[in-house]
Each structure stands twice: as C-alpha cells, then as structure tokens.
Amino acid sequence: MTFTLPSIALSRFFAIASTLLVLSASHLAQAATITVDNTQDSNSSFVRACTSAPNDCSFWGALLLANTTAESDTIAFNIPTDEDAGCSGLTGVCRIVAPPLNFSVIHPVIIDGLTQPGASANTLSAANQGVNMDLKIELTRNAFRPSGITFLRSVTLRGLAIVRVTVSGAIEDAFIRTYPSSGDNVYVVEGNILGGTAAGGFESSSANAYFFRFGECFVQNLSATTMQLRVGGLLPAQRNYFLGGQPALKAAACINSVVTQADIVIQGNLFGTTKNGLAAVIGQVNAYTWINLELSGSPTALVGGADPSARNVFTRPVDQVVATSSTANGSTILRVQGNYIGLGVDGVTPLVVPFDPQRFGGTLFNVRRALIGGTAAGERNLFVGNDSVTMVLANGTNNVLSNTYIGNRMFRAVQVLEAPVPASPQVSAFAVAANAVTFSYSVSPTPAQTYPLTVEFYKTIGGNNPSVLLGRDTYLAGEAGTTKAISLPLPPGVTLDANDVVVASANAANGQGVSEFSWYPSLLTFVGNNEAVLNRCTPIRVRLQALGPFRPNGSVRIGNGPLTNSGVNICTATLVPAVAGPYIAEGICALNMRQIGQRTLYAAYDYDFDNFRTESGTQPAATRTINTVTAPSGDALFKDGFEAINCAG
C-alpha cells in the first residue's frame, strides 16, 4: 500500500494552480484589482460604488464588483486609518464587517489583506519558530444579524485577521464557506490569523468559532471537476495562526463520477499557541476540534509532512486534533506526519493546558484510512499529553493504523503497516549516587518485534507534562525478557530521589512502533484500624504500595458502602509518603459511619493521571469489615440509627 500525495497529488495541485494563473494571465485585460478604501457595511451605494473617487469602495462593494467579471480579480486594501472610524490611528488596524445574509461570490477572487499600508507577512520558519505577521485588516461578521461569505469558485485568502462574532439566535454556520460550482477550483488560505485579532489577541466571541468550511461533497448540483485546498504551506509567508475552533477548519473532499481529483494539504500552521509557539493560549480557545475532514471516495489529504517547514504545531484540544469521516474502507487517503501535538515549536517546551473537568479530553485522532507517522526521516509526530489520558484511534477496517492508545507522556508516534508495538519497559529499581542514576529494567519480548529498542527514561513532574528525560539505553534482541542494569549521568540541574516517579518508553528500530509508558500494579490496603471503632467520626487509614520504583500520588476515597451507590458517606484520604518504605504512601480521613453495627468499608485509589495509574487504567480497590459500637447512653444522634455529624467539619 502506498500513499502518493507528496509526489503526485502535490504536483497535480500546483499544476492546476499554475493553469489557473496562466488562464488569468491570458485574460489580463478582463481581470482587475479592486481597492477597498473604507470599512463601511451599509447598503448605501455611496460607500460601495468602487469608482475612482475616494471613500466609495467598501469590502461589500468590492465583492459585488468582482461578481461582474469572470476572471480572477484581486481585492486590495488602502483604507486611510486617520480618517475612517473603523480604523485605529494608533495601531493602523481596520475592522471590516462582512456583508449580511450569507453573500455569495460567484467568480474566482484573491483577497489580499497584506496590501493595506503597514501590513507585513510572517518571516519565521515553521522549523522551530512562531509567527510574526503584522496584519492590518480584521474581518468579522455583523454582531446583530447573520452574515458570512460563500465562494463558488477559486479563492485565495491572504493576510486577514478573521474574528468570528457569534450571532444570538442565528443558525451557526461557518463564516467562510466554499461550494465549488463548476470546473477546477483551488482554495488557498495563507498568512492569516483565524480567531484572533490582527495583533494576535483572542476575543471571547471567537471561543466557539467555526471559521471555514471548504468544499462540499454532498450538496446537490455539484459540478466541479477538481477541488484543491492548501491551508498554510512551506514558505514562512504562507503560515496561518489559528485560535479557537468548533472546528477551526472543516474541509470536504470527494472523488465521484463528477469530481475526478480532490486534494487537501495543511502545513506549517500554529493551532492554539501563543504567537511565539512556546505556550498554549488558555481558555475556551482550546475547547474543540482543530481539523475535521469529510472524505469520500479516494481523495488525498496531508496534515504536516516530512519537511520541518511543513510541521503544524497543535495545542492539544479537549476533543480532537484531526477527525475524519469516510464513506468506504480502502487504501490510505490521509497522512498525519511530522507534527507537534502538545509541544512547542522548539520541540522541548510543553504546551500545558490546565485540566478542566467540564471539558475533559481524550481522543487525539479519530480517523479512518489514515497513516499516523512514518518510517522516513521527519515523518513521525511528537505527542505530549496534557492533564488527561490521550490516545490515537483509527476506526473502520483496512486501516494502516490500528487502534493504539498513548499514555499521557512524551510519545514519538509511529505505527506503520500494523507494526508490532513493544511492551512497556518495567523499571524494577533505581538508585542515585554521585550525580548518576542506576536503573534495573526489562522489556518483555513481543511477536515479530524489531530490534534494537531505544528505551527512554523519564522523571515525571507532578501536575504537568512532559516528563524530564533522564537518558536513553539500547536494548538488544538477545536481552529481551531479561533484567538489565545501566548507569546514566543525571542531566544538569535535574535531581532525583526515592519519592520521584520514574517511567520509561521503548522505541522499536527504524521507528517501527512505540510502547506505552511503563505503569505498575499497586496494592491498596486498610492499615492500623481497630475493629471496635468509635461511634462517631471514625479515623480510617489506608496504605498504597507501588510495585514499581515510585511513590503513588493523589488520594483514596473511603466509604461505608459501594462508592458507586447513591447515599454512601465518603471521606477522602490524601496520600503522603510513609515511613514504611520509599514507594509507599498513606492517607487518613474521618468517616461518618452513620449506621450502627457491622459495616463493610470500601476504598478506591483515585489515581493521578499524570503520575500513577495501572497499565489497564483500572482503580486499585479494597474492602474491610469493621464494627460500629452502640452509641453512648442518651446520645440522641443515634436514636434512629443514623449519625448526623459532619466529620469533615
């Protein structure tokens, strides 16, 4: 099975783009540059006439004029910032409200915000840098009535800051839509800020943004023969900066009896980071899916690429980085390669998103007929989870990628043609002396495993990701299943002691599969409790012992009945280091027993997703029978058999 997007689909993409340029050049006399010179969105002909007179060509007027010519017109901008009320004389930024009532552009058009005086394109490479574009044109929809723009033919959107205003009571749809009506169509989105202001700030009205819907395979009367979409690109000036999304980008591509070619390329963009690409933008901006692809038949789609300039950088959203739907199984049609997910542009800095129980995350990818990563240089993605378990999921059958779950740590993701995934390394012990750490570990053999394995050791950081890399070791085929002892120097500035959490991951030879991070079983018990307990708030002590080299974190819930039942009285014991051993933690809390007589206590470890869980993700649990003695004489609180004291208070 081969995937030919870089060699064939991209060449077709640029061939069609070049053809359109040639066609435009051959009719240069008919094509025009229409210059917007005011920010008005009124229906007055005086502000949208687009003649040679000053202050008479609004954005709405320019679109109307572009609709009168069949050739590819360019809409430029030259708005006097010191005269127009919609502009800031201080920053030079002008905000334009889109035409109302879902305006349609029926002919090809180029909209170039970089033509506004003072605007400049990004000059920083995607290899390890953020973006520095300085945009001066902001485009938004009317806050009091639904508005949007639909492009029926090819369009290039360049140098615009698109801020989506949510309209109360309106049916929410994409702000920018394309419904290809006929012929060959090329859509280009480059050098824009999507969901943010021209300065790169985030507006709350863009939190649930749904900015773009490109292509549409399922509308009636679709007569386009090709559909090409490029979002971003390999050149610095082509990179986009996305903030917000529900999803931020939705693209449809299909192959059918009419559409003979459809290709999607998404490269070099920042999603949900600060402009320097080294931190996550916190808040509702990261609440939804970044990319949603609707693929039918056998189109081709590429997210990222082996070239460092093709790398997209994603702050991990609450839902999905990439989601796809497909109407049939078959060969690979989507590749996701060379991207950073949850990691900054430098490949080192984590893009930490605080855990929000109201917007709990999980799936990184929900894709079909997809290849995530690859064996060639630069093709594998780099993942870092943030405050919840993440996973890669491929649905359907005949996928290159099988269902693979990724632990919430740094993970170099490569799954190629059902490559065998190594077992998780088991670190049985570690010791620190003279700025070096000694590990004892083993990796169980798995069928058809490729060797050697590169085993990476990490010290976890409570509450944050990723872990600190302590070092690497090579594990040979002849060592499979045996315990190996190695000594590694501690990295400068890194400390390690017996209460730290140490985990490891195994990377197979040539990138052929990556293991989960190592997690260990744990033993939860009740300790030090007298069978004949007092009758009111009873102190209950629990002990959690890790069967691997770290101390458990988090808390244990204790109840006087099954913890999943309603009406159970529960207290929470916070775990602290225990003198019984370096990998043991204990906690105590006062439990209101409520009922008199023999009771069964229930306890469950609420493991810390960052630092401790079992391999299967199940909660260690324990039970214990205990007696509640009769209340002292005259204690009215026990007359009906129930205690009313709030032990937590």
Query: Is the pLDDT assigned to residue 515 strictly greater than 80?
Result: no
Query: CA 118, CA 139: separation in Å to the nearest integer?
Result: 17
Q: Name which of 185-189, 286-290, 571-575 the model is least confident about.
A: 286-290
| Residue 352: DSSP 8-state | -
Question: Which residues face 118 on adjacent strands?
Answer: none
Q: Name which of 59-68, 176-185, 230-239, 483-492 the model is least confident about.
A: 176-185
Query: Is the pLDDT assigned to residue 120 strictly greater than 80?
Result: yes
Query: Is the pLDDT assigned to residue 525 strictly greater than 80?
Result: yes
Query: Is the pLDDT assigned to residue 404 strictly greater than 60?
Result: no
Query: CA 203, CA 200: separation in Å to the nearest integer?
Result: 10
pLDDT band at 208 (very low <50, low <70, confident <90, very high): low
Q: Name which of 210-224, 273-287, 406-420, 537-551 the model is least confident about.
A: 406-420
Average pLDDT over residues 422-429: 83
Matching residue, tokens 């894709």: 367
Q: What integer pLDDT is reported at residue 313 of this predicted model?
A: 94
The pair of structure tokens assigned to 313 is 């950088």
* Better-scored residue on pLDDT, 262 or 581: 262
Query: Is the pLDDT assigned to residue 199 strictly greater than 80?
Result: yes
The pair of structure tokens assigned to 63 is 């679109």
Q: Are strands 241-242 and 193-194 parallel, antiparallel or unpaired?
A: parallel
Give the number of C-alpha atoms closer than 13 A to the C-alpha of residue 107, restricted to the C-beta side: 18
Q: What integer pLDDT is reported at residue 607 of this predicted model?
A: 59
Q: What integer pLDDT is reported at residue 270 of this predicted model?
A: 95
Q: How far is CA 429 from each of CA 289, 424, 467, 545, 582, rounded to the nearest angstrom? A: 41, 15, 18, 14, 11
Q: Answer yes or no: are the C-beta atoms of 138 and 198 closer than 8 Å.
A: yes
Q: What integer pLDDT is reported at residue 636 of this predicted model?
A: 41
- Note the maximum CA span of the chain: 105
Query: CA 593, CA 605: separation in Å to the nearest integer?
Result: 20
The pair of structure tokens assigned to 298 is 């056998």
522-638 topology per CATH: Immunoglobulin-like (2.60.40)
| Residue 648: DSSP 8-state | T
CA angle 30, 33, 37 (to 5 degrees): 145
Query: Is the pLDDT assigned to residue 362 strictly greater than 60?
Result: no
Give the number of C-alpha atoms closer than 13 A to the C-alpha of residue 150, restricted to the C-beta side: 15
Question: Collapsing DSSP states into helix, strand and coil, what is residue 445?
Answer: coil
Nearest to 37 by CA among 6, 65, 11, 2: 65
pLDDT band at 436 (very low <50, low <70, confident <90, very high): very high
pLDDT band at 578 (very low <50, low <70, confident <90, very high): confident
CA angle 84, 90, 94 (to 5 degrees): 40
- Listed in sequence order, the residues at least 6 apart from 354 whose beta carbon sits closer than 8 Å to its beta carbon are 282, 387
Query: Is the pLDDT assigned to residue 256 strictly greater than 70?
Result: yes
Q: What integer pLDDT is reported at residue 230 of this predicted model?
A: 94
Nearest to 150 by CA among 181, 172, 171: 181
Cis omega (within 30 of 0) on the bond before 466? yes
Phi then psi dihedrals of residue 528, to 5 deg? 65, 25
Q: Name which of 236-250, 355-369, 427-441 the model is least confident about.
A: 355-369
- Do the first three CATH levels of 426-511 and 522-638 match, i.e. the same topology? yes
Average pLDDT over residues 319-332: 70
Q: How far is CA 156 from each of CA 52, 139, 151, rounded to the nearest angstrom? A: 25, 15, 10
**Cα 298 → chain centroid:** 26
Q: What integer pLDDT is reported at residue 638 of this predicted model?
A: 40
Nearest to 565 by CA among 538, 602, 620: 602
pLDDT band at 565 (very low <50, low <70, confident <90, very high): confident
Nearest to 641 by CA among 596, 598, 600, 597: 596
Q: Answer yes or no: are the C-beta atoms of 560 and 596 closer than 8 Å.
A: no
Segment 263-274, tens digit of pLDDT: 999 999 999 899
Phi then psi dihedrals of residue 401, to 5 deg? -100, 125
Cis omega (within 30 of 0) on the bond before 521? no
Query: Is the pLDDT assigned to residue 433 strictly greater than 70?
Result: yes
Query: Is the pLDDT assigned to residue 234 strictly greater than 80?
Result: yes
Nearest to 608 by CA among 538, 545, 556: 556
The pair of structure tokens assigned to 488 is 């590694």
Environment class of 8 (CB within 10 Å of its CB; exposed 0-12, middle 13-18, buried 19+): middle
pLDDT band at 385 (very low <50, low <70, confident <90, very high): low
Q: What integer pLDDT is reported at residue 220 of this predicted model?
A: 44
Q: What integer pLDDT is reported at residue 548 of this predicted model?
A: 72
Q: Are strands 502-507 and 453-461 parallel, antiparallel or unpaired?
A: antiparallel
pLDDT band at 171 (very low <50, low <70, confident <90, very high): very low
Q: Are strands 484-489 and 436-442 parallel, antiparallel or unpaired?
A: antiparallel
The pair of structure tokens assigned to 555 is 């808390």
Q: What integer pLDDT is reported at residue 519 of this predicted model?
A: 61
pLDDT band at 535 (very low <50, low <70, confident <90, very high): low
User: Which amino acid is it at 151?
Assistant: F
pTM for the model stands at 0.63
Q: What percent of the chain lies above the pLDDT cut of 70?
A: 68
Query: CA 293, CA 289: separation in Å to the nearest integer?
Result: 11
Question: What dihedral angle (degrees, nearest 10) is formed by the CA atoms of 471, 476, 481, 484?
Answer: -50
Q: What integer pLDDT is reported at residue 169 of this predicted model?
A: 45
Q: Answer yes or no: are the C-beta atoms of 220 and 180 closer than 8 Å.
A: no
Query: CA 222, CA 501: separation in Å to the nearest integer?
Result: 57
- Listed in sequence order, the residues at least 6 apart from 194 whose beta carbon sits closer than 8 Å to its beta carbon are 162, 209, 211, 212, 240, 241, 242, 243, 244, 248, 249
Environment class of 561 (CB within 10 Å of its CB; exposed 0-12, middle 13-18, buried 19+): middle
CATH architecture of the domain with range 426-511: Sandwich (2.60)
Query: CA 230, CA 305: separation in Å to the nearest integer?
Result: 13
Environment class of 212 (CB within 10 Å of its CB; exposed 0-12, middle 13-18, buried 19+): buried
Question: Which residues face 475 on adjacent strands?
Answer: 453
Question: Which residues face 295 on adjacent strands?
Answer: 253, 326
Q: What integer pLDDT is reported at residue 530 of this predicted model?
A: 55
Q: How far is CA 501 from each of CA 9, 105, 429, 434, 575, rounded to the nearest angstrom? A: 47, 58, 11, 19, 14
Q: How far is CA 370 from each of CA 181, 231, 312, 323, 453, rounded to the nearest angstrom? A: 29, 19, 17, 10, 25
Query: CA 367, CA 324: separation in Å to the nearest integer?
Result: 5
Query: Is the pLDDT assigned to residue 16 strictly greater than 60?
Result: no
Number of residues that this document lists for the chain: 649
Q: What percent of the chain lies above the pLDDT cut of 90?
A: 25
State the chain's mean pLDDT as an integer. Answer: 75
CB atoms within 10 A of CB 170: 14
- Reported as type and span, the H/E element at residue 470 is strand 464-475
Phi then psi dihedrals of residue 510, to 5 deg? 60, 25
The pair of structure tokens assigned to 269 is 């963009």
Question: What dihedral angle (degrees, nearest 10) is formed by the CA atoms of 135, 137, 138, 144?
Answer: 170
Q: What integer pLDDT is reported at residue 466 of this predicted model?
A: 44
Domain segments of the chain as ranges: 5-413, 426-511, 522-638
User: Which amino acid is it at 267?
Assistant: Q
